Amino acid sequence: MATTTAALTTPKTRERTAAPAVPRARRRVEGVYYLFLLPSLILFTLAITVPAIIGIFFSFTNSIGFGEWQFVGLINYVALFSDPAILQSYLFTFGFAAVTVIAVNLIAFLLAVGLTSRIRIKTGLRTIFVIPMVISGIVIAFVFNFLFSNSVPALGQALGLGWLSESILANPDLAWVAIVIVTAWQAIPGTLLIYIAGLLSIPGEVYEAADIDGAGKGAQLLRITLPLVAGYVVINVILGFKNFLNAYDIIVGLTNGGPGTATRSIAMTIVTGFTGGDYAYQMANATIFFVIVIAISFTQLRLTRGRNVF
């Protein structure tokens, strides 16, 4: 009788007779964790938050960085939008960041596809390709400065190529190309590692099924690989664009903002103004730039939310 009753008990019956679920209690955070967090919080506040607040305050003054100052309201902010030097730095920086992020992601993705394919020396090649990532940007800039200023023109003269016989760094229309090349050379390894992680997370059975269905390598790349690594592409594009907006050391080592001001970035304009007596004016510039970076960060969070990339 007991056996018959147990056999007649359906899953739905067991669900109705089961005890109501008890809500899980919130996990209590031990106080020791806050204790370990406190030193980092204090250092961050003193080194980042407090100076930022002070800088924003002085952006509404006529301070030159020391001495007496007076409140001038929004005069600094209004002047920024009519300053051709400021507008030129923003135009150059955003254009440079857009071109560089496209070049870096395209090259890094193609390299990642090659370095995850069935080649014998892919482990050694991965090691070689990540070397630029561990070298200081200013060191890389000085090395390439010598190459663009001496080695490349000498090679152009030896080959009889007039367009290659002059330094690209001295050409106001082409100097930005050198900055893109050097910046991409250093940035590709980090982007490459993220793409390799994304490609290795794709199950091999997906490609085996595609082979059985007769899909070629090109079709697999466009219809399988790209959709499955879309989250990694979004992260690389947004992080890269945000990092390239802060370009400074490579530009200083290559062109120092020249010829003239043709390659002067926003960061370089701000730093130069700090040391040139335009403290409050460039602090207003830095505040606007900060707001732009924050907006890009929020965009990143919205685009990557729920993608479960990492």
**b/e per residue, 252-283, with b = 16+ CB within 10 A?**
bbbbebeeebbbbbbbbbbebbbeeebbbbbb
Tell me the C-alpha distance between 137 and 149, whole Å: 18
Cα–Cα distance for residue pair 128/252, rounded to 1 Å: 26
Note down pLDDT in tens along the chain; length 310 residues: 444 444 444 444 444 444 455 455 566 777 788 888 899 999 999 998 999 999 999 999 998 888 888 999 899 999 998 899 999 999 999 999 999 999 999 999 999 988 888 777 777 777 787 888 888 888 999 999 999 999 988 988 888 888 788 889 988 899 999 999 999 999 999 999 999 988 888 888 888 888 888 888 888 888 888 888 888 998 899 889 989 999 999 999 999 998 988 999 999 999 988 877 889 999 999 999 999 988 888 887 777 665 555 4
* Cβ proximity of 195 and 229 under 8 Å: yes
Q: Domains (ranges, CATH) in the chain?
A: 77-140+168-304 (1.10.3720.10)
Condensed to tens digits (0 to 9), the pLDDT of residues 222-257 reads: 888 888 888 899 889 988 998 999 999 999 999 999
The model's pTM is 0.81
Look at the alpha carbons of 14, 15, 20, 24 in this order and tell me if their dihedral is positive or negative: positive
What is the pLDDT of the chain when averaged over all its residues?
Answer: 84
